[in-house]
């Protein structure tokens, strides 16, 4: 029988439900089980595609082109579970489907209600993923916090599934906060109330994860157990990790969380094998080299906006036995800096990364950052918009097209080196109009990117509307910009490189989405390797 584990959260948001859920999945996979992950987002948006990074953090893109919550990126980094469109559920999708069925007369004249119609659609989507051949366990993270009005239908659907499938096939994990008040006292009352609220909905948690600044004493754990009706051994402490989030599966393993899950679900599995994961964590904690990377972006004030990029840089460090320190540089600030101030800003940086984004704000600062990296021979990695910025900078300062620009920023520019595809010029709808998901690229032999991948054919994920204008290809190439990757048939530019530069690579796709701590992406590993060489040369 298929098994289902629901993760809910209480007290406050952003406690790390996604990391907790995927850490458990990591442990179950280490025992030979096949796991699927689902993220439920209670917002009414159909997907995350049109949401601001300041509201929602980064948008994680799947192979099949779904624009999803950043937690799915955590799932991909911690597990081998395939992450596709079906693994992301939103309230917008649920209501859109139920209303569509109602308009088609599929409910045979019945009054359409939250129960059973909305909850049935929620369960249908969960079971569609969970019933796939070979899947042993499906872990479902319910976004938001117990008590939020938006989450109630999902918690009700989760409650119903225990009745539908049997108690031994459905497990409930609840994550709460143990806050510290004046004098350093740890308070359990918020956790008690959170569990009480969950029980009022009809769900008694089987496992309780308590987010705390430190490991809790046995007395506090016993108190929590008594007041929440959760066995003492099933009260798991998710204490703050000082060095790396990748240590969390090890912390859960030490508290035997995976054993408790197997016992409660009556599930047979092999012994855990986490040696490779422990070795990776050891490198994170004991790396003997430090490298400093400057990220020149427009959303740097919200850490989650570039979550996958920051993690992929850390993975590149792991591949080179190095710890990556980030210097986050607001591209808007660079626009008003003098040359001397820019020199000072980049003085302690060994590599520059220019990430993606949308809109004109901050792009002048990105261009100045790219120019500094190019002229000072600092390794530079441009991703999506970052690659387009590198092309614009080259066109302006090497090709001497002073007004070179993207039609996204300046529609009337006389030199649109970056522009929309012809068939997209008249788009009026923003959602779902981009080049999205996995597609093929062919790499030019002898280039940096070809050497990094050690292959002439790659498949990477895209999320953009604008492309390098084909009408400027010859001029750009003649002036020293190397076009190192194309779509099949050389229809579109996929990657560029600076000539006469140690490592200046721009890619139109998003390699960060495929990087994991166990298998660092080759481009990030190569970029960090080059940055280390630059650092050694300048000691």
Does the annotation count 512 as an active-site position? Answer: yes
Does the annotation count 210 as an active-site position? Answer: no
Per DSSP (E only), the strands in 384-474 are 404-406, 415-420, 435-443, 457-464, 466-468
SS3 59: coil
Contacts 24+ apart (CB under 8 A), 468-473: 468/388, 468/391, 468/417, 468/418, 468/492, 468/493, 468/496, 468/508, 469/416, 469/417, 469/418, 469/419, 472/395, 472/415, 472/417
Active-site residue identified among 384, 408, 462, 534:
384
- Determine the Cα–Cα distance for residues 341 and 244; give it in Å rounded to an integer: 33
Token digits for 184?
Answer: 């350093």
- Determine the Cα–Cα distance for residues 233 and 208; give it in Å rounded to an integer: 10
Provide the 8-state DSSP code for 495: E
CB 122 within 8 A of CB 154: yes
Angle CA(535)–CA(387)–CA(534) in degrees, nearest 5? 10
Active-site residue identified among 141, 460, 512, 535:
512
Classify residue 478 by burial, with Cβ atoms within 10 Å: 0-12, 13-18, 19+: exposed
Please name the residues in contact with 139: beta carbons below 8 A apart, sequence gap of 6 or more: 4, 5, 7, 21, 22, 24, 25, 35, 36, 37, 38
Active-site residue identified among 56, 510, 521, 534:
510
Please name the residues in contact with 294: beta carbons below 8 A apart, sequence gap of 6 or more: 327, 329, 345, 346, 349, 351, 352, 353, 369
290-313 b/e (C-beta count within 10 Å ≥ 16 → b): ebebbbbbbbbeeebbbbbbbbbb
Contacts 24+ apart (CB under 8 A), 126-130: 126/4, 126/38, 126/89, 126/157, 126/161, 128/86, 129/36, 129/38, 129/86, 129/87, 130/2, 130/4, 130/36
Please name the residues in contact with 407: beta carbons below 8 A apart, sequence gap of 6 or more: 413, 416, 418, 419, 420, 466
Does the annotation count 284 as an active-site position? Answer: no
SS3 236: strand
Q: Looking at the annotation, which residues are catalytic?
A: 384, 510, 512
């Amino acid at each position: 029988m298929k098994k289902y584990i629901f993760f809910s959260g209480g007290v406050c948001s952003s406690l790390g439900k996604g990391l907790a859920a995927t850490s458990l999945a990591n442990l179950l996979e280490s025992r030979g089980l096949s796991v699927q992950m689902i993220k439920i987002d209670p917002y009414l948006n159909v997907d995350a595609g049109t949401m601001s990074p300041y509201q929602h953090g980064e948008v994680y893109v799947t192979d099949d082109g779904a624009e999803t919550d950043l937690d799915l990126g955590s799932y991909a980094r911690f597990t081998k579970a395939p992450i596709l469109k079906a693994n992301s559920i939103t309230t917008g999708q649920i209501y859109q489907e139920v209303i569509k069925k109602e308009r088609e007369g599929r409910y045979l004249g019945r009054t359409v209600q939250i129960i059973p119609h909305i909850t049935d659609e929620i369960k249908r989507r969960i079971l569609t993923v969970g019933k796939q051949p070979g899947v042993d366990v499906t872990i479902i993270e319910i976004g938001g916090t117990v008590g939020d009005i938006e989450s109630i239908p999902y918690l009700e659907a989760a409650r119903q599934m225990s009745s539908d499938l049997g108690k031994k096939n459905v497990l409930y994990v609840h994550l709460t906060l143990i806050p510290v008040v004046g004098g350093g006292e740890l308070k359990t009352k918020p956790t008690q109330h959170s569990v009480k609220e969950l029980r009022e909905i009809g769900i008694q948690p089987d496992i309780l994860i308590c987010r705390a600044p430190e490991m809790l004493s046995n007395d506090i754990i016993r108190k929590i157990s008594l007041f929440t009706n959760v066995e003492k051994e099933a009260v798991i402490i998710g204490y703050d990790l000082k060095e790396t989030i990748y240590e969390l599966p090890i912390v859960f393993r030490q508290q035997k969380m995976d054993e408790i899950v197997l016992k409660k679900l009556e599930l047979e599995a092999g012994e855990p094998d986490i040696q490779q994961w422990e070795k990776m964590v050891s490198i994170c904690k004991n790396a003997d080299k430090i490298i400093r990377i400057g990220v020149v972006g427009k959303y740097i004030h919200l850490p989650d906006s570039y979550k996958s990029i920051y993690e992929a840089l850390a993975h590149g460090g792991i591949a080179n036995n190095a710890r990556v320190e980030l210097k986050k540089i607001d591209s808007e600030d660079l626009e008003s800096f003098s040359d001397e101030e820019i020199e000072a800003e980049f003085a302690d940086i060994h590599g520059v990364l220019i990430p993606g984004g949308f809109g004109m704000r901050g792009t002048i600062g990105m261009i100045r950052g790219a120019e500094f990296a190019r002229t000072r021979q600092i390794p530079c990695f441009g991703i999506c918009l970052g690659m387009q910025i590198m092309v614009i900078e080259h066109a302006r300062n090497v090709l001497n097209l002073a007004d070179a620009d993207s039609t996204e920023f300046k529609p009337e520019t006389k030199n649109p080196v970056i522009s929309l595809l012809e068939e997209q010029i008249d788009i009026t709808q923003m959602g779902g109009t981009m080049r999205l998901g996995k597609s093929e690229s062919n790499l030019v032999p002898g280039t940096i990117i070809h050497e990094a991948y050690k292959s002439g054919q790659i498949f990477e994920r895209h999320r953009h509307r604008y492309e390098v204008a084909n009408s400027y290809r010859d001029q750009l190439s003649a002036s020293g910009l190397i076009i190192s990757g194309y779509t099949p048939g050389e229809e579109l530019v996929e990657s560029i490189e600076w000539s006469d530069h140690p490592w200046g690579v721009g890619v139109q796709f998003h390699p960060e989405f495929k990087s994991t701590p166990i298998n660092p992406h080759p481009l990030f590993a190569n970029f960090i390797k080059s940055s280390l060489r630059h650092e050694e040369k300048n000691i």
